[in-house]
Structure 1
Amino acid sequence: MAVTRVPRRLAVVIDEQDDVAYTRAALNAHQPELGRITIQPTPASSHPATLAHDVLYALGKRLASGPGGPDIPLDSVRPAWLAAAAWSAATGIRHLVVTRAHLLTTTRLNQLLAWREATGVQLTLLWQTTPRRMPPTLASIEHHLTGLDQLHAALAASGPRPARPFFPPLPASPDTSTPTPPLPHGARLLPAQAAHTGPVPPPRSRQSCMGATATAQQASPLPALPVRPQDSAYLATLAHPLIAGALSVLAFTGTTQIALRDTRDIDLSGHATLLRTHSPGHRRCRLYEVPTWARPLLAAARAHHRLADRRPEEKLFAPGLQSGAKALRAHREHLPALCEVRDERAWR
């Protein structure tokens, strides 16, 4: 049998007889740990963001249901697809398989194709009816596959999960384009400072405040506060990257929402292992270790920031803190440790 050449970016698999073997193969291919997810579009839903919600559910995220719920910011099409793109980028998803694609409207197909362009993922669509009903958007592409063998080849084409998450590129930031400022004359890191018993020495203003990577060259980070496994598991299911990232910071640093407002993209290190927080007047800015469980959440917040074309010096969580204040309060109620924040006014 000749080896099938499988396209890298987009494939439409024709299953005109709607053979259950095709659907079974697609569902068995769902392996997020290998960078591949499968979705079955929600049938007969008129909600404009339904398909994006299906992607979020496949990524392990859960949206609160009901009118007036905390996840209302993701009810709109663009925010929902932006969240799905951020999570897929941060968790290394490289292949999306969609069953019963013939039931999707042209609008939703276009949303899916636009999302593919934004994330760079490989997309495999199962067209499980006659190809004569295929819209021009798909009929014009060259990558139509037939046969179960070709489907299996397409499903195996994504390869192993990337070694590190994909992030949309950023222009040069202060951390990479500006040399790290030297220590003051005569200063040195003493053993006690290396253990970090106090805050990072303050700069004159936020604009001159170094990011996490540069700060780590001058001071050791504080250890993260312990967080209960059930709390970290709950945070990992939140659908909005900015809400999940902000609440994770509040949990493992013990800071307040007010202090969180000044956190920038460059305050998170390249591998999301270090985070710098700021204080009023920047007199008690601190550097923290990011616990393993929180790194994907902060990576998703950063991917969201960059996919939204925001600058590295802009505040990372600001959009979520402004539009998602209700979501922050609602989700915080599930996290007892956050009910004891020092400044309760931050949540009003």
Structure 2
Amino acid sequence: MALVYGDVTIVVDEQDDLFYTRAALQAHQPEEGRITVQPTPASSSPAALAHDMLYALGKRLAPGPNSPDVWLDSVNAAWFAAAAWGIAMGVRHVVVPRAHLLTTRRIDQLLAWRESTGVQLTLLWQKPPRGLPPALAHVERRISGRDQFEELLAEPGPIPARQSFPPAPPMARLAAVAAGQSPAPRPRATWAASLRPGQPAHPCTGAMATAQLIQAAPSIEIASEEAAALTALAHPLIAGALSVLAFTRAGLGSLRFTRDLDITGDVSAIKLHGVGHRDCPLHAVPAWARPLLAGARAHHRLTAHPPGDGMFAPVMSAEARHLRAHAGRLPQLDLSVPALVP
């Protein structure tokens, strides 16, 4: 059975057969581009389903009322983070058991997330299909048999989620269904904010052009446990920024000017910038950090920023307190986060 790119499939399981749930859980293979998202039962948090998606992607939110991940309680922020990780990790197929327990709003959020990532979405509807909400009532692809379900899970899925700029409508819709919230204002890099019409473009070239002229400085090695701690961070910008500090030991100020074009297409090198661009070194990106920087770049693109904007600008605001808080939770990395250089 051929899968259509971005298709939605409803698996009807009126008898709530344990076979379907077990098969869905066994299908969770993130390294193969297929994840199973288990919705948290009876959660009243507006961002609960997005948090479940992040968990399925291997991300862990810091606990507590004063958590540095408190900004992911926002529906918009949580779904943008989940979309960025889905794209960066090449997720191709998402299976959601017990989808019949989801509210209409959460189903809309899930469908908007699918549009932004281009994945195959399979929903296990474990009750009679006559209760399908309007958003799913016209889905043409429905299956209701063990053999069909096993065949569906055995398929490789559509091509990996796109890595380039997505069209605006899907993510605009995602913001619209996020509990009535509107997208956050677009943050801009410090240097970009100072430019005026008629002024010359920023003089510093991107990573690709620089890599043709100089060799990237080798990355600093860190222990696998430390890399795993960074990989588990839930917000792509936090994970990306702290990973750069870990493998370069650069100062926080060097990240404020980092643009999309300062990362090579294959995420093998990143260019940092000093004050006045007097020192702009090129650093090799270690293998463990490439998915994290890919996630940061995907997040930057999903939030409709042009390549010249500062990629880490959102985590530099408010004295970078979220970034500092996470750095403090990883003392083994010894990531001192000094004050930003004015």
Q: Give TM-score, length-normalised by structure 2.
A: 0.85
Distance 2:310 2:146 in 1: 49
Out of 15, 19, 22, which is 1:21 matched to?
19
Aligned positions of 1:78-97 closer than 5 A: 78-97=76-95
Change (3 A) 1:322 1:133: same
AA of the residue aligned to 2:268: T
Runs of 5+ in structure 1 lacking a partner? 172-204
1:48 corresponding residue in structure 2: 46
- Check conservation: 2:12, 2:129, Cα contact below 8 A: yes
Distance 1:49 1:296 in 2: 24
Distance 2:83 2:319 in 1: 18
2:278 corresponding residue in structure 1: 283
Change (3 A) 1:251 1:344: same
CA apart distance, 1:324: 8.5
- 1:161-191: per-residue Cα shift (whole Å, max 9, x none)? 84xx7313389xxxxxxxxxxxxxxxxxxxx
Greater alpha carbon shift after TM alignment, 152-161 vs 107-116: 152-161
AA of the residue aligned to 2:118: G
Distance 1:6 1:233 in 2: 33
AA of the residue aligned to 1:77: V
- Check conservation: 1:11, 1:154, Cα contact below 8 A: no
AA of the residue aligned to 2:71: P
Out of 163, 168, 174, which is 2:164 matched to?
168
How many correspondences in the alignment?
309
1:307 corresponding residue in structure 2: 302
CA apart distance, 1:340: 6.0
3-state secondary structure, aligned to 2:91 = coil
3-state secondary structure, aligned to 1:344 = coil
CA apart distance, 1:141: 1.5
CA apart distance, 1:157: 2.7
Change (3 A) 1:209 1:327: same
- 1:11-37: per-residue Cα shift (whole Å, max 9, x none)? 000000000001011111000010000
1:344 corresponding residue in structure 2: 338
Out of 211, 217, 226, which is 1:222 matched to?
217
Change (3 A) 1:298 1:6: closer
2:328 corresponding residue in structure 1: 333
3-state secondary structure, aligned to 2:339 = helix
Change (3 A) 1:28 1:63: same
- 1:69-97: per-residue Cα shift (whole Å, max 9, x none)? 11011111111011001001001101100
2:188 corresponding residue in structure 1: none
- Check conservation: 1:243, 1:324, Cα contact below 8 A: no
AA of the residue aligned to 1:221: A
Q: Hey, which bits of structure 1, 4+ residues long, moved more than 6 A?
A: none
Distance 1:105 1:131 in 2: 15
3-state secondary structure, aligned to 2:123 = strand
Greater alpha carbon shift after TM alignment, 332-341 vs 233-242: 332-341
3-state secondary structure, aligned to 1:207 = coil
CA apart distance, 1:292: 0.6
Runs of 5+ in structure 2 lacking a partner? 168-199
2:229 corresponding residue in structure 1: 234
2:252 corresponding residue in structure 1: 257
2:102 aligned with 1:104, yes or no? yes
Distance 1:129 1:274 in 2: 50
CA apart distance, 1:227: 1.6
AA of the residue aligned to 1:167: Q
Q: Give TM-score, length-normalised by structure 1.
A: 0.84
CA apart distance, 1:338: 5.6
Distance 1:30 1:42 in 2: 17
Indicate the percent of aligned positions where both proteins have the same amino acid: 56
- Check conservation: 1:35, 1:161, Cα contact below 8 A: no
1:145 corresponding residue in structure 2: 143
2:72 corresponding residue in structure 1: 74
1:136 corresponding residue in structure 2: 134
Distance 1:12 1:324 in 2: 46
- Check conservation: 2:94, 2:119, Cα contact below 8 A: yes
- 1:249-284: per-residue Cα shift (whole Å, max 9, x none)? 111111111111000000000010000000001111
Aligned positions of 1:178-257 closer than 5 A: 207-257=202-252
- Check conservation: 1:73, 1:323, Cα contact below 8 A: no
- Check conservation: 2:68, 2:326, Cα contact below 8 A: yes
CA apart distance, 1:206: 8.1
